[in-house]
């Protein structure tokens, strides 16, 4: 038992934008190691859902963990209200194969800032990587910065991968 590495739960907060893909790549290149669990955490406010929608069941706790094998299935994505681009799915498959990590996704419903911080404790995550869209000061005042909020409120180490305005 001595010398065995304990599997970590590395979280990557994603909205499936270019900056969150950059954060995912950074996590793969700099953090992920064999045996770790890479958990994609995505949070959004559902625009609307039917009264009988399953999303209502997961509003407080989020979805169950979605394994990598189901992340690319259209039925699964529709069920959880998530839209993932092919590039991100390819990245996740490559990372799982090359780094020998277990990849899964947790979908949360509500204010992304609050839900990501809640996920840090409820999962619990060893660390979290999040992208930064590079909002200017004025936009950040009006829109708020998810990454800034998470850095100041999460109970685990948080790495912010910055992306310039010209990249995003």
Dump pLDDT digits (tens) for 113-123. Answer: 999 999 999 99
Distances (CA, A) of 161 to 4, 36, 68, 140: 30, 20, 23, 16
pLDDT at 137: 56
What are the tokens at 9?
């739960």
Q: Residue 6 and residue 106: Cα distance in Å, rounded?
A: 21
pLDDT at 35: 95
pLDDT at 54: 60
pLDDT at 168: 45
State the DSSP H helix or E strand holding residue 95, giving kind and residue range, or none if neither: helix 86-99
pLDDT at 73: 93
> Is the omega angle on the peptide bond into residue 93 within 30 degrees of 0, that is, cis?
no
Say yes or no to pLDDT of 98 above 60. yes
CATH of the domain at 65: 3.40.50.620
pTM for the whole structure:
0.85
Domain of 16?
9-162
Sign of the C-alpha dihedral computed for residues 15, 90, 23 and 27 taken in this order:
positive
Q: Residue 1 falls within a domain, yes or no?
A: no
Q: Residue 100 falls within a domain, yes or no?
A: yes
């Amino acid at each position: 038992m001595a010398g065995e590495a304990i599997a970590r739960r590395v979280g990557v907060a994603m909205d499936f934008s270019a900056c969150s893909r950059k954060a995912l790549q950074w996590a793969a290149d700099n953090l992920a190691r064999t045996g770790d669990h890479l958990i994609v955490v995505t949070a959004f406010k559902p625009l609307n859902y039917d009264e009988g929608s399953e999303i209502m069941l997961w509003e407080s706790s989020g979805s169950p963990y979605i394994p990598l094998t189901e992340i690319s299935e259209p039925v699964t994505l529709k069920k959880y209200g998530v839209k993932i681009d092919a590039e991100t799915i390819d990245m996740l498959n490559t990372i799982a194969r090359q780094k020998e990590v277990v990849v899964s996704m947790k979908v949360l419903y509500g204010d992304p800032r609050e839900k990501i911080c809640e996920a840090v404790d409820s999962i619990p995550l060893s660390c979290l990587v999040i992208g930064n869209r590079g909002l200017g000061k004025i936009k950040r005042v009006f829109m708020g910065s998810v990454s800034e909020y998470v850095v100041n409120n999460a109970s685990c180490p948080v790495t912010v991968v910055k992306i310039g305005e010209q990249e995003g």
